[in-house]
Amino acid sequence: MNRRKGKNTFWIMMMTLMLIFTAGFLVVFIVRIISLGAPVLSWKFIVEPPREAMTEGGIFPALMGTFLLTALAMIFALPSGIFTAIWLTHYGKPAWLVNILHIVINTMAGIPSIIFGLFGMAIFVNLMGFKVSLLSGSLTLAILALPVLINNTEQAIRSVPADFSEASLALGATTRQTISRVVFPAALPNILTGAIISVGRVAGETAPIMFTAATFYSRRLPHSLQDEVMALPYHIYALMTEGTHPEAQVPIAYGTALVLLILVLLIDATAIIIRSYMRKKRQW
Amino acid sequence: MKDIKEKIFQTIAYLAALLTVICLLAIIYGIFHDGLSLFKVVSWKDFLFTNNWYPTHYPPSFGAWALIIGSLTVTLGALIIALPLSLGSAIFIAEIASPRLREIVKPIIELLAGIPSVVYGLFGMAFLAPLIRQWFSLDTGLNLFTSSLILGIMVIPIICSISEDAMNSVPHSIREASLALGATKSETIFKAVIPAAKKGIIGSILLGFGRAIGETMVVLMVSGGAAQIPKSIFEPVRPLTSTIAAEMGETIMGDLHYNALFALAIVLLIITFFSNLITEIVFRPKRQK
Amino acid sequence: MVEKQIWTSNLNLWFGKNHILHNINLEAYKNNITAIIGPSGCGKSTLLRCFNRMNDLIPDMELTGKVYLGNKDIYAPKTDVYAVRASVGMVFQKPNPFPKSIYHNVAYGLQIQAKYTKSEIKERVEESLKAAWLWDEVKDRLHHSAMSLSGGQQQRLCIARALANKPQVLLLDEPTSALDPQSTAKIEELCLSLKNSVTILMVTHNVAQAGRISDYTAFLYLGELVEFGKTEHIFTVPKDKRTEEYLTGVFG
């Protein structure tokens, strides 16, 4: 019995140790980014374009670029993602197409992001002739976000009790009216949470925009969908690998990383807060 | 009128669903169309199994063996580092931590899973690599070990969060049954909870594998980029993803090098398809219930 | 003399290969309450859902025979199924108000038809809530969430919601099985007052309830209509042995 007790203590200590190790790693990581990024941050850093071959100035074009890419990607992805989820949950015939669609979504969710980048380059940049541009990049990001968006929306819609649809249909509503007036409003908080999480993912992606949208350096903001853009994640990579003055560029890279980190964590935290708030408030 | 609106709505939903399928088909078509052109010139055996990646030499040669090995070793290393840490943490959070601690730690882990990979890459390149070069007195800190370490840290939150969900959804009665039979806490965890949560845990590991092997930015920045089969864990490597990312800028559409990079993407796609397929097979019986 | 309001003729129904309803001929009369009783799994609820075509939603449902609503076959090819459902109201086992305000729950059926003005809807909401004996309890908080009501109030709200469409027939699917005795009594009384304006078809597995409030009773057993007639006749001199056994509690 003592041996078993000893074993028990040993394993529990091991697990605790693992969590402490994990936490330690992640704390070092976060602290490093914050402590080296924070001194660079200032209002000027946010609102000024880069200067002097990227060794001075701010990140304004990259910030706006990321904002534009993400917003456009969501504008493209949201309608088709939501309608696909609606089709899966409310129409879904024939059954074999539903199965195929689920396989398609799971497969797409597992494809590495660099492949989306290659695809975007082959189809949007080259075949369709959109060039390396805001348009090509946001379309590529939209397709990347699609599977996660569909999955989240489908789950959100399925979590609405069938009682509600039944009551609506029995009052003479069509499926469309039932979805738009009863199911969708009830599922909206969860759909939003999923969409916000997708925004966080899309904003942080680098590989898909490397060959489809991003440019190393641009002093001005894009004027049309056909223009190249700077973007925060690509800016970090470019500063670290393509620069000629590392001593001046590495701090800027840390500052940019901290901005990106704060942005993404704020977005995700919003989603988590909405979710837990709605769980408490939900009445069914 | 009601009927017409209903029909239009249904048609839009149907078209959206079809569009999703078309997206995947277009991805496969786009990658395979440009990638398969390589095999008109280079045999697929030479491509897969010879070790000489000199795409810009004259004449060029496209032997991707070292790149495939690069991807696999980096991923394997990442899993060796991540598995004990992430599963141990998951067990701790699900089984040992107080509910209060769990409420705090779980969302933090979920937040960490959302950190962009380029930030991990920066951390590896600017901080960890110089440190490792010093500690082990190496020529370069950009190597297999550093890449695996960073990738490992990166996938910990993913594996931890999903396997914790799996363990957390094991009914409480199973734990009580085991404890009531006189089992200790650790015996209950290993013999009752983990077997019951097996599928979710395997799924989380496969997902971590997929994330690690498909990750581009970290290995692009940290792996060192030498197309060789590493003789020790402190040698630089050149995984598939970073090769594509690093060389695509130097190619011209339609030349052999361009096609070769798409052929690498085919290899990557097939590896992720298989890991997806295994996940599907693992999860299927559960879904039918 | 009593007038037929809704009735079936040689109704058969299958789910896939399962023959659920066998050759049902059932009539419900205007301004009467007809109770459908029988052991669980006998097809009571399925039969009830034939009257507003809610069974259409089940993918492999097949149906032969006819269902008439005031001389119109509601399964005829060109029938507007939404209009059928609006004129045959339904109340479910578990109260299922929408997660909307009390007002919008009752207004829902009218709003989706998009042919009423705001003031008409407002009037009809008040009228329906009064008819469902809920007005006095909720008139000061019409814009509060319907989820804040008690179970019994929620069920009366569901009745009001169905009444707002001015249905000819009201289908009640075990409407009191999720409620406490007091709320049950109130709903039973409400049914008796409603039958002046609407024909009621009610499924219940509470035999006493059928005896208390229904004018006609149908006994359904294994998908067959075993016996149908005036409630007092069924309860005092059942013709079929199975009916007698069920009513005396031998099975079910």
pLDDT per position as a tens digit, A40-51: 898 888 888 887
* Cβ-Cβ contacts under 8 Å, B84 against chain A: 18
Instruction: Report the relative pairing of strands C4-15 and C18-24 from DSSP bridges.
Output: antiparallel
Q: What is the mean pLDDT of residues C185-208?
A: 93
**Min CA distance, C203 vs chain A (Å)?**
16
* CB of C80 less than 8 A from some CB of A: no
What pLDDT is stored for residue C211 in this prediction? 92
Question: B103 exposed, middle or buried (CB, 10 Å; 0-12, 13-18, 19+)?
Answer: exposed
How confident is residue A282, by pLDDT bands cut at 50, 70 and 90?
Answer: low
Does residue A54 surpass a pLDDT of 80? no
* CB of A90 less than 8 A from some CB of B: yes
Least CB–CB distance from C86: residue in A167, A171, A185: A171
Q: What is the mean pLDDT of residues C231-235?
A: 91
* Cβ-Cβ contacts under 8 Å, B16 against chain A: 79-84, 86-87
Lowest mean pLDDT among A64-78, A184-198, A241-255, B239-253: A241-255
Residue A256: count of CB within 10 angstroms of its CB: 32
Q: What is the DSSP letter of C215?
A: S
What pLDDT is stored for residue A168 in this prediction? 94
* Cβ-Cβ contacts under 8 Å, C161 against chain A: 167, 171
In three-state form (DSSP H/G/I as H, E/B as E, the rest C), the secondary structure along chain A is CHHHHHHHHHHHHHHHHHHHHHHHHHHHHHHHHHHHHHHHCCHHHHHCCEECCCCEECCHHHHHHHHHHHHHHHHHHHHHHHHHHHHHHHHCCCHHHHHHHHHHHHHHHHCCHHHHHHHHHHHHHHHCCCCCCHHHHHHHHHHHHHHHHHHHHHHHHHCCCHHHHHHHHHCCCCHHHHHHHHHHHHHHHHHHHHHHHHHHHHHHCCHHHHCCCECCCCCCCCCCCCCCECCHHHHHHHHHHCCCCHHHHHHHHHHHHHHHHHHHHHHHHHHHHHHHHHHHHCCC
Q: What is the mean pLDDT of residues A111-127?
A: 93
Q: Say yes or no for a CB contact (<8 Å) between B121 and A237.
A: yes
What pLDDT is stored for residue B285 in this prediction? 53
Q: Say yes or no for a CB contact (<8 Å) between C82 and A173.
A: yes
State the Cα–Cα distance between residues B92 and B94, nearest whole angstrom: 6
Mutation site for C-interface testing, chosen from A91, A171, A184, A190 by largest number of C Cβ within 10 Å? A171
Q: Three-class SS of residue C248?
A: coil
What pLDDT is stored for residue C41 in this prediction? 83
What pLDDT is stored for residue B288 in this prediction? 38
Full DSSP string of chain B: -HHHHHHHHHHHHHHHHHHHHHHHHHHHHHHHHHHHGGGGTS-HHHHHH---EETTSSS-EE--HHHHHHHHHHHHHHHHHHHHHHHHHHHIIIIIS-HHHHHHHHHHHHHHTTS-HHHHHHHIIIIIHHHHHHHTT-S-S-SHHHHHHHHHHHHHHHHHHHHHHHHHTS-HHHHHHHHHTT--HHHHIIIIIHHHTHHHHHHHHHHHHHHHHH--HHHHHHSB---S--SSTTS-B--HHHHHHHHGGG--TTSHHHHHHHHHHHHHHHHHHHHHHHHHHHHHHHHH-
Q: Say yes or no for a CB contact (<8 Å) between C109 and A171.
A: yes
What pLDDT is stored for residue B1 in this prediction? 60
Q: What is the mean pLDDT of residues C99-120?
A: 91
Q: What is the mean pLDDT of residues B167-178?
A: 89
What pLDDT is stored for residue B289 in this prediction? 32
**Min CA distance, A165 vs chain C (Å)?**
9
Q: What is the mean pLDDT of residues C124-144?
A: 94
* Cβ-Cβ contacts under 8 Å, C94 against chain A: 163
Does residue A219 surpass a pLDDT of 70? no
* Nearest residue of chain B to residue A26 (CA atoms): B153
What pLDDT is stored for residue A56 in this prediction? 75
Least CB–CB distance from C165: residue in A161, A172, A283: A172
What pLDDT is stored for residue A142 in this prediction? 96
Does residue A33 surpass a pLDDT of 80? yes
Least CB–CB distance from A80: residue in B16, B115, B122: B16
User: For the segment B20-55, what is each residue's pLDDT rounded down to a tens digit?
Assistant: 999 999 999 999 998 998 888 888 888 888 888 888
CB B13 within 8 A of CB A87: yes
- Specify which residues B225 forms β-bridges with: none
Instruction: State the amino acid at position A185 in one-letter form.
Output: P
What pLDDT is stored for residue B287 in this prediction? 43
Least CB–CB distance from C112: residue in A163, A173, A185: A173
